[in-house]
Amino acid sequence: MAKAQDIIAKLWNLCNILREAGITYPEYVTELTYLIFLKMAEETGTESDLPQGLRWRDLATKTGEAQFKFYKNQLDELGRAKVKHVRGIFADAESALPQPRFLSLLVQEFDKIDWYSAREETVLADLYEGLLEKNSAESKSGAGQYFTPRPLIESIIELIKPSPGEIIQDPACGTAGFLIAADRYVKRVSANLAKQSSRQVTFRREAAFYGVELVQTTCKLALMNAMLHGIEEHIVYGDALGKEGKALPPADVIVTNPPFGTKPGAGLPDRLFPFPTSNKQLAFLQHIYLCLKSGGRAAVVLPDLQGNLTPKVLCDLMEKCDLHTVLRLPTGIF
């Protein structure tokens, strides 16, 4: 983790320089996501996922205005790439960098970093998580919408105990913290991953994790985070209270921290729930217990439930599920 912290410090020092140009913390982390993806594709030998002529070295060998124009076109072209996860990360990508010199600074500093050593010691995923956490701490306002504090996530995962072979879902996945923590837990409790069948390993990597994220820029961070943690996830940009949520397969485990409040304009969700409501937490609660397999289990972060439909939703929950615990979290956690 030491090397990851060193790299985080270097990258965040660059952010302090770019802030003078009016670039916000979230914009900076999104920009880093594009550049880290391109650089790591070169380092890990996975550039075959990227079209010829749109790779890191194509960018790094250019300078000045030519480099700046190339980068903007590169982002646009990769947003239409054939490979799904590339297309997801670069969808509608736009650079927040106002001048060519800022891009040149980032590219030069990226090439100075010992990425190979970081990759060999599996700290790159920790590095990215560290950047997300740093962004959350610095952004303050609204960060809880997409970055649930990791100690809270880890506590929930320890209690819910996901198992190998289970389908695990987060319908409001933010930066994919719950899914990554669940994957880490599954790998830890597996006696010996080396002895697992190829079918079991493939399931964990390709079919175990599902998520939906309403904000496109946050969805990109989730896709990148999952990829760096070795998960070939099914994270989609969309609304879990709409068609994207309805398309999710029944889950063995659902863990989530959904958005609170009411739907804009006090409109109803696009999906038909037993108790239609513009109250997001009541709508998400219905999605959660209706999307569980028989015998499935869930843990969810919710505010105090209010509204006329609350008793009906809770009665329906109690009829369909075995409610184990309601725990009030300390104030100031988010």
Give the pLDDT confidence of 178-194 residue by residue, as tens digits: 999 999 898 888 765 55
Residue, of 164 and 21, whose pLDDT is higher? 164
Give the pLDDT confidence of 109-149 residue by residue, as tens digits: 888 887 766 655 456 677 777 777 777 766 654 444 556 88
- Cβ distance 309 to 277 under 8 Å? yes
Going from the C-alpha of 5 to that of each of 41, 127, 253, the distances in angstroms are 21, 7, 32
Q: What is the average pLDDT score of the chain?
A: 85
2-138: which CATH number, 1.10.10.10, 3.40.120.10, 1.20.1260.30, 3.30.420.40?
1.20.1260.30
Give the pLDDT confidence of 66-93 residue by residue, as tens digits: 999 999 999 999 999 998 889 999 999 9
What was the pLDDT predicted at 309?
A: 92
- Cβ distance 320 to 294 under 8 Å? no
What was the pLDDT predicted at 142?
A: 46
Cα(98)–Cα(165) distance, integer angstroms: 47
The domain limits of the chain are: 2-138, 142-320
Q: What is the mean pLDDT of residues 155-159?
A: 95
Helix-helix angle 124-139:25-44, to 10 degrees: 170
Q: Which class does domain 142-320 fall in?
A: alpha beta
SS3 270: coil
Any idea which of 46-50, 137-141, 165-169 has the lowest mean pLDDT? 137-141
Residue 148 corresponds to which tokens in the numbers above? 């649930």
Residue, of 208 and 121, whose pLDDT is higher? 208
CA angle (110, 6, 25) in 5-degree steps? 65
Q: Point out which residues pair with 300 in neighbouring strands.
A: 256
DSSP 307: S
What was the pLDDT predicted at 121?
A: 46
- Cβ distance 221 to 196 under 8 Å? no
Contacting residues for 105 by C-beta, under 8 A, at least 6 apart: 14, 17
Instruction: Please report which residue ranges of 25-175 form alpha helices under DSSP H.
Output: 25-44, 56-60, 64-78, 84-89, 100-112, 115-120, 124-139, 150-160
What was the pLDDT predicted at 266?
A: 58
